[in-house]
């Protein structure tokens, strides 16, 4: 079996548990401002708005726009629909940066620390550089470097993001393995010539949610978590 | 006194002792290939070729070219002038990557580790991303992120490099402090609106070499090393 030189990690859902973190931030926001809503549903809609917004950038309907800005547009619309207004700008900005303060899955830091001993470990995320950098400080993620779609002005699954990562690290695409909890991301990486590792994150969208299907053999590795991936890679 | 949010570090000479490291690599190269030269002078000429090569890129005489490639052009010319030939390509590439394996100054890792507790610490170097990433792994440099002139296709002292760093980290230029051992780099950063910290590295070019002059009050901080800078910044 071929072995990669670089492990490039999808972040939202793969490294960090965005849902629990964002629900927690929304709940605190509601307490401070005296409003009660279904914050789990609100978090899911906030996340749900992200993919269509990125698609508009990918199709060229919008110029390059950072995730921070897309998150804010979606948040403003959701707050309006929920009838929540008169929130000071500073508090809205603070809430929007909840995505900079996401907590890791229980195995993430220990797994990355082990994998870092043998491989170069980088983000390869649609999150902007400042978001990923702040998140790494918050969550203690020991990245060797922070690579973002922002550097290429191409969101995944655009081919430019996967190839740009290999180019910046000066290795062949086949020497990079994308690690992700999302088959669609992995398929695009494989199309671009990268190796692929699927990590199962059954709770990303909450309990009892069905995970997207995939064929056996579609990906180079299938792992229960980052520690399992480290074991399979012999670290 | 104003305090920055981000510390952006020049790397060659400021964080790592390129001269001692490169002389060591050249000496081993000479032993392996049975050639003896004045490797200290060779290292100085290798480094000396870097600034004129970058200037050609900055003036637009050359398209964007990574430092790895510029280093290799200079190396090939120096080897030819020294009458050293018939070296296998793999060994030349390995030697050229000496710049990926530079050792830190004695205070660098401890100082960065302290500064990282309070500030976001990033590279802001003309070295390419892969060089800086490999160097961080080699030397144990605990960067929060790796920012390079390569990301902007503008070498320092082009204004775009300093402003691009602030933009990627989503802070105002005045919230970034460049830390460097070179007054010329710091002056360009100050012109772009950054704060500045001069760190004295008396041995960068070997013993007994005169350091470039500067006026008192030209920079926001003057420090003997990174631990001194950490003390002055209250960390």
Taking only the tens place, the pLDDT of each residue in B137-169 is 999 999 999 999 999 999 999 999 999 999 999
- Alpha-carbon gap, residue A105 to A124, rounded angstroms: 17
User: Could you tell me the two tokens for B24?
Assistant: 């060591």
* Cα first-last separation, chain A: 15
Residue A124 per-residue DSSP state: E
Q: What is the dihedral of CA B84, B85, B90, B92, to 10 degrees?
A: 40
Burial tier of A1 (Cβ tally within 10 Å: 0-12, 13-18, 19+): exposed
Taking only the tens place, the pLDDT of each residue in A100-141 is 999 999 999 999 999 999 999 999 999 999 999 999 999 999
For range B75-81, the mean pLDDT: 97
Residue A98's pLDDT band, with cuts at 50, 70 and 90, is: very high
Q: Is A123 in the B-facing interface, judged by CB distances under 8 Å?
A: no
Q: Is A68 in the B-facing interface, judged by CB distances under 8 Å?
A: yes
User: Could you tell me the two tokens for B58?
Assistant: 């900055």
Every domain of chain A and the residues it spans? 6-17+102-232, 18-100
Residue A58's pLDDT band, with cuts at 50, 70 and 90, is: very high
User: Could you tell me the two tokens for A69?
Assistant: 């800005």
- Alpha-carbon gap, residue A97 to A91, rounded angstroms: 10
Which site among A124, A128, A133 would you substitute to test the B interface, given the most B Cβ atoms closer than 10 Å to its Cβ? A133
ipTM above 0.90, yes or no: yes
| H or E element at residue A184 | helix A183-191
Contact list in A for residue B175 (CB cut-off 8 A) is none
Burial tier of B23 (Cβ tally within 10 Å: 0-12, 13-18, 19+): buried
Q: How many helices (H) and strands (E) does chain A have?
A: 10, 6
Residue of B nearest to A137 (CA): B144
Homologous superfamily, domain A6-17+102-232:
HAD superfamily/HAD-like (3.40.50.1000)
Q: Is B122 in the A-facing interface, judged by CB distances under 8 Å?
A: yes
- Alpha-carbon gap, residue B73 to B50, rounded angstroms: 10
Contact list in A for residue B129 (CB cut-off 8 A) is 145, 168-169
Contact list in A for residue B125 (CB cut-off 8 A) is none
Q: Is A5 in the B-facing interface, judged by CB distances under 8 Å?
A: no
Contact list in B for residue A134 (CB cut-off 8 A) is 120
Q: Could you tell me which residues are beta bridge partners of residue B195?
A: B177
Alpha-carbon torsion A32, A33, A39, A43, what sign? negative
Class at the top of the CATH hierarchy for domain B18-100: mainly alpha
Candidate from B120, B133, B171 with C-beta closest to A145:
B133
- Alpha-carbon gap, residue B83 to B13, rounded angstroms: 29
**Is the fold of A6-17+102-232 the same as that of A18-100?**
no
Residue A82 has pLDDT above 80, yes or no: yes
Taking only the tens place, the pLDDT of each residue in B20-32 is 999 999 999 999 9
């Amino acid at each position: 079996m071929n072995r990669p030189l670089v492990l490039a990690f999808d972040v939202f859902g793969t490294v960090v548990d965005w849902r629990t973190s964002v629900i927690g931030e929304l709940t605190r926001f509601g307490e401070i401002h005296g409003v009660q809503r279904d914050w789990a549903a609100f978090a899911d809609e906030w996340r749900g708005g992200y993919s269509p917004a990125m698609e508009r950038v990918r199709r060229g309907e919008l110029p390059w726009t950072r995730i921070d800005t897309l998150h804010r547009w979606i948040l403003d619309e959701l707050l309006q629909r929920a009838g929540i207004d008169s929130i000071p700008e500073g508090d809205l900005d603070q809430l929007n940066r909840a995505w900079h303060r996401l907590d890791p899955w229980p195995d993430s830091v220990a797994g990355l620390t082990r994998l870092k001993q043998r491989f170069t470990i980088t983000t390869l995320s649609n999150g902007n550089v400042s978001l990923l950098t702040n998140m790494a400080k918050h969550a203690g993620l020991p990245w060797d470097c922070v690579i973002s779609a922002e550097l290429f002005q191409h969101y995944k699954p655009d081919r430019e993001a996967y190839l740009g990562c290999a180019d910046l690290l000066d290795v062949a695409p086949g020497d990079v393995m994308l690690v992700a909890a999302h088959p669609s991301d992995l398929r695009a990486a494989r199309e671009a010539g990268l190796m692929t590792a699927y990590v199962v994150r059954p709770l990303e969208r909450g309990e009892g949610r069905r995970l997207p299907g995939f064929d056996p053999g579609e990906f180079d590795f299938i792992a229960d978590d980052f520690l399992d991936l480290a074991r399979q890679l012999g670290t």
